[in-house]
Structure 1
Amino acid sequence: MVRSRTLARISAAAFIAVGWTGIAAAAPAAAIFPFEIFDTSGEAPQPDLTERLAMATRVLSEALEKTGRYSPVDLAPFGAEVAATSPRYRCGNCFLPVARQAGAAFAIVPVVHKVSSLISSMDIWILDASSGADVAHLGGQIRGDTAEAYEHGVRFLVRNRLPADDPPDNGAQSK
């Protein structure tokens, strides 16, 4: 009798510990839209620009997932809808319905503003997909118009400019 009670208590404690661990591990879904370029340099586009923007998007997705704070959703099934939102940096949050349709709690919109082949700025906006409220803005200058500069810029912004606190629940006040 005493042995069965002890076994029941141990089983209950193990069940509770496993249950709490599973609940705490879930990161909110995030629709990470492809990087876009806002080019005011007047220079001819480099032939590898499309690949560079795709690489920067992959690096951003991996870096944000690695933080444990966001779980990227697959936007591939929404390719036509994503393309229709371009340019996202001036569409008035037209991408939010796509983020919600993909099941995301957050929409992440990155852009490079190219001023010259030496100077660009990189901005990553994180918005609440339900309300459109700004959650965070990661911004900084990058030097060079190369894959290495883009990758370094993305990693720097996620590592050094992402706010330290967890993303708010949907409907929370913006920062």
Structure 2
Amino acid sequence: MRPSLLLTILVLMMCAPASGQQNPPASIAVFPIELEDRSAGAGIIAPDEHDKRYLSESEQMAKDMLTGSGRYTVVGVTVPTEAKAKGLRYCGGCEAAIARQNGASLALLGVVTRVNRTEHAVFIRILDAKSGKTVAEGFTDLRMGANYAWPRSVKWVMTNKILR
């Protein structure tokens, strides 16, 4: 064998494993997207089946986009009853500890704030489950539609703020 050919083969053999290695996807707990109703109807009109459906679709949108990025593996999470009743958005970052207890390295919390029946804002935050520090966050007040637009707003935040 020629020395140059042998050298090329050796270099390729040494480089192949390194180029084929990628960081494994980070495990992330995606919590149910919460509704914060600041509209004039808050307290008078309870969240209905449409609200629940679009919150669920918003959560699924975030999960699908995280998984589709190849950078994350979504981990199932059990939210303690007391945290669920108060809302994770009020627990001061307790979602990091809950994610860690469920075997995730990251925690995603999302909140849809209803301004009125046709305007809303979306906030998404990802915390490191070990340190509790913010890894990524994004917000939009696109305010483009009623509850049917919540998943679209989550998609916008994920695309333009979280996964970029």
Bin of the TM-score, shorter chain as denominator length? 0.7 to 0.9
Task: Assess if the C-alpha contact under 8 Å between 2:111 and 2:122 holds in 1.
Answer: yes
Q: Which residue in 1 is equivalent to 2:39?
A: 41
> Following superposition, which runs of at least 4 residues in structure 1 exceed 4 angstroms of deviation?
9-16
Q: Which residue in 2 is equivalent to 1:17?
A: 16
User: Aligned partner of 2:39: which letter?
Assistant: S
User: Aligned partner of 2:16: which letter?
Assistant: A
Q: Which residue in 1 is equivalent to 2:136?
A: 136
TM-score (norm 2): 0.80
Task: Assess if the C-alpha contact under 8 Å between 2:55 and 2:151 holds in 1.
Answer: no
Q: Calculate percent identity across the aligned residue pairs.
A: 26
Q: Which residue in 2 is equivalent to 1:27?
A: 25
Task: Assess if the C-alpha contact under 8 Å between 2:118 and 2:147 holds in 1.
Answer: no
Alpha-carbon shift at residue 56 of structure 1 (Å): 0.7
User: Aligned partner of 2:75: which letter?
Assistant: V
Work out the CA distance in 2 between the residues paired with 1:115 and 1:29: 33
Going from structure 1 to structure 2, the CA distance change for 1:131 and 1:25 (only over 3 Å counts) comes to closer
Work out the CA distance in 1 between the residues paired with 2:118 and 2:70: 33
Q: Which residue in 1 is equivalent to 2:83?
A: 85
3-state secondary structure, aligned to 1:95:
helix
User: Aligned partner of 2:29: which letter?
Assistant: A
Work out the CA distance in 1 between the residues paired with 2:154 and 2:121: 11
Alpha-carbon shift at residue 135 of structure 1 (Å): 1.3
How many residue pairs align between the two structures? 154
3-state secondary structure, aligned to 1:24:
coil
3-state secondary structure, aligned to 2:63:
helix
Going from structure 1 to structure 2, the CA distance change for 1:110 and 1:24 (only over 3 Å counts) comes to same
Q: Tell me how large the CA RMSD over aligned residues is.
A: 2.5
Q: State which of 59, 62, 66 in structure 1 corresponds to 2:61.
A: 59
Q: Deviations over 1:4-42 (max 9, x none)?
A: xx9xx9699569635752x40511111111100011113
Going from structure 1 to structure 2, the CA distance change for 1:17 and 1:74 (only over 3 Å counts) comes to farther
Alpha-carbon shift at residue 109 of structure 1 (Å): 0.4
Alpha-carbon shift at residue 60 of structure 1 (Å): 0.6
Give unpaired runs (5+ residues) of structure 2.
none
Work out the CA distance in 1 between the residues paired with 2:32 and 2:76: 12
